Amino acid sequence: MGEYFDQIPDELQGHIREITKISGLPEGEESVEMIAQAWLEKKKTFEEETQKMKMEEIESFPKEDERAVLALTYSGSLINIGPLQENTRKVQYMSIGLRKDVPDLAEREDSVLAKDINIDEPIDFEKGPVKSTSQIFKIAVFTGDLSVEEQEEKITEVTQIIGEEFVEVNKTIISE
């Protein structure tokens, strides 16, 4: 198909095509390539920045785990889930910015996960900034023994860095 689309994992290719349809970009393979290129850049940013923050990628995250967690969806959205405090978490959902069917940013201070977080499944919330997300592509958690405050500070920092990079990627795509 194309230089970038062919690099997208098979299980995500249909999702990339669906995102392209609702992105507002013209129909066609050129737009699919642009969305694929953006997705690959966001994946790389996620991997690089979580590694810099000494986060490790995991396959699943138990809902009762007290740590903060960062997730990247098939769509390229970012979900920042703060550490568990008094049975709730602060959650921030940042969409890819090109989709017209989800909010660009949604937050909720007293979010509750409905179930464990697993690769290839959506994140569902009993209470959250969104009811559920698209399927999860990557999950990252902090290594080491960090206090709640340190986790909150670091998860906010890494989310801000990644979010700013994602916005730049979107600007590049829209301006082409």
pLDDT of 168 strictly over 80? yes
User: Which whole-number Å values give the CA distances from 96 to 17, 22, 72, 154, in the listed order?
Assistant: 14, 12, 10, 21
- 36-45, 84-93, 118-127, 164-173: segment of lowest average pLDDT: 164-173
pLDDT of 105 strictly over 70? yes
Q: Which residues contact 21 (CB under 8 A, 6 or more apart)?
A: 27
Where is mean pLDDT largest: 72-76, 94-98, 129-133? 129-133
Q: Whole-model pTM?
A: 0.90
Return the pLDDT at 154.
95
Percent of the chain with pLDDT over 70: 92
- Which DSSP helix (H) or strand (E) runs through 73? strand 69-73
Q: How confident is the model at residue 109 (pLDDT cuts 50, 70, 90)?
A: very high
Return the pLDDT at 18.
86
Find the mean pLDDT for residues 3-21: 89
Pairing verdict, β 69-73 and 117-118? unpaired
Q: Which residues contact 158 (CB under 8 A, 6 or more apart)?
A: 49, 50, 53, 55, 70
